[in-house]
Amino acid sequence: MSQKTAAGKVINEYSGTKIRANTGYRVFTICNYVFLTLLGFATFYPFWYVFIASLNTGRDFMRGGVWLYPRAFTLENYGLAFQDKQIFTSLQISVFITITGVVVGLLLTALVAYAMCVKTLPGRQAFNFFWYFTTIFGGGMIPYYMVLRTLGLNSTIWLYVLPSFYSFYNFILLRTNFAGVPYELRESAQIDGANDLSIFIHVYLPVSKPILATVALFIGVGKWNDWFTGAYYQSKTSLFPAATLLQKILAEATATQSIKEGQESAREAMNTYTSQSLQMAFVMILTMPIVIVYPFLQKYFVKGALVGSVKG
């Protein structure tokens, strides 16, 4: 979607004759560029700042003044983070739930979206309402938690996959896209003797690759980022995903911040790293996959955002 803006085009066409791009507008344009540059900088800089902090020795960072690039470069923080058994396990868990979450969620949601596109399906309207209703009303956190506990899910890794593989938003994205596949394709395949499963696999999936990629990414990012499920519903600390572990580390640091960090610098003066610098490396390990993947997939994300906002 290249936003060739109407107003702009008109201004250019007419600027010679009817309207002169006056000084006021020129000043506005300059201010606008300056403002948007600052906005972009303000958005990007925190990431950069933590990135260089994670590549700097913790001790040196605490002296201040590390603003643009690492002053005392080191990979120690990353090395220590990966050596930490808890962090490493939590990363493995995060990778596992992201992958299974994407595979299970994408497949099962796509199957429902396909079925809901078959107009002759008896009960189609009722099913559509069944999917929709959960978005306007819910039982709330406590009854949900009690269901998890009754099923014993709150102490297994499936807590992160089973209860949440369906999402109405993703369902709408897929259904909107499947509805655009010519219905005749399905009918002619049926005449050739194909059943729904083979139509789904051989006709619908191949023509829907972009939207499948989009939904896969939405699910993946959601799973990777979800700290809440682990923090409030998981009873086994050994099953915390990385995002939850980071939150626990933050919470612990908060409780002791003002006292601990000062003491540490005296007690552990031998170390070049600090708990803060380790934490920065961990934050970057959590952020990197998204920052690396994101620019390539941005256009799919944007498409997804638009379809969802129009239909949902």
Q: Within positions 208 to 227, which residues make up the interface with another protein, using CB under 8 A? A: 221, 224-227
Q: How far is the CB of 242 from another protein (least distance, A)?
A: 9
Which one of 81, 106, 173, 246 is in contact with another protein (CB under 8 A)? Answer: 246
Which residues between 114 and 153 bind another protein (CB under 8 A)?
A: 114-115, 118, 120-122, 127, 130-131, 134, 136-147, 151
- The first and second tokens of residue 133, run together, are 């209703």
Of 87 and 286, which CB lies nearer to another protein in the complex structure? 286
Contact 218, 180 (CB under 8 A): no
> Which conformational region is residue 14 in: left (phi greater than 0), alpha (psi within -120 to 50 degrees), or beta?
alpha
Measured from the CB atom, the residue of 227 and 273 that comes closer to another protein is 227
C-alpha span between 282 and 261 (Å, rounded): 18
CA nearest neighbour of 281 among 246, 238, 237, 231: 246
**According to the binding rule CB under 8 A, does residue 27 interact with another protein?**
no
Q: State which amino acid sits at residue 233.
A: Y
Among 27, 30, 40, 180, binds another protein (CB under 8 A): 40
CB of 59 to another protein, least distance (A): 10
Q: Which of 29, 92, 238, 263 forms a contact with another protein (CB under 8 A)? A: 29
If binding is defined by CB under 8 A, does position 237 make contact with another protein?
Answer: no
Separation of alpha carbons 271 and 113, rounded Å: 56
Q: Is 243 in the site for another protein (CB under 8 A)?
A: yes
d(CA 95, CA 167): 20
Q: Does 178 bind another protein (CB under 8 A)?
A: no
25 near another protein (CB under 8 A): yes
> With CB under 8 A as the contact rule, which of the stretches 82-90, 178-186, 196-204, 206-214 interacts with another protein?
196-204
Q: Does 195 bind another protein (CB under 8 A)?
A: yes
Q: Provide the 10 A C-beta neighbour count for residue 231.
A: 16
Count CA atoms closer than 13 A to 28's CA, side-chain side: 5
d(CA 84, CA 98) in angstroms, rounded, equals: 21
Distance, in Å, from the CA atom of 263 to the CA atom of 274, rounded to the nearest integer, reads 11
Q: Which of 155, 176, 247, 272 binds another protein (CB under 8 A)?
A: 247
CB atoms within 10 A of CB 211: 22
To another protein, the closest distance from the beta carbon of 227 in angstroms equals 5
- Taking each helix axis from N to C terminus, what angle separates 168-179 and 275-311, rounded to the nearest 10 degrees? 50
Residues 41-100 that bind another protein (CB under 8 A): 42-44, 46-47, 49-50, 53, 61-67
Q: How far is the CB of 182 from another protein (least distance, A)?
A: 19
Binding piece for another protein, criterion CB under 8 A, among 81-89, 172-180, 204-212, 287-295: 287-295
Q: Round to whole Å and give the CA distance between 200 and 117.
A: 11
Q: To 5 degrees, how large is the angle CA 245–CA 251–CA 257?
A: 130
Contact 87/245 with Cβ under 8 angstroms? Answer: yes
Footprint on residues 259-278 left by another protein (CB under 8 A): 261, 265, 274, 276
Smallest gap from residue 30 Cβ to another protein (A):
11
Q: How far is the CB of 83 from another protein (least distance, A)?
A: 20
Q: Is 14 in the site for another protein (CB under 8 A)?
A: yes
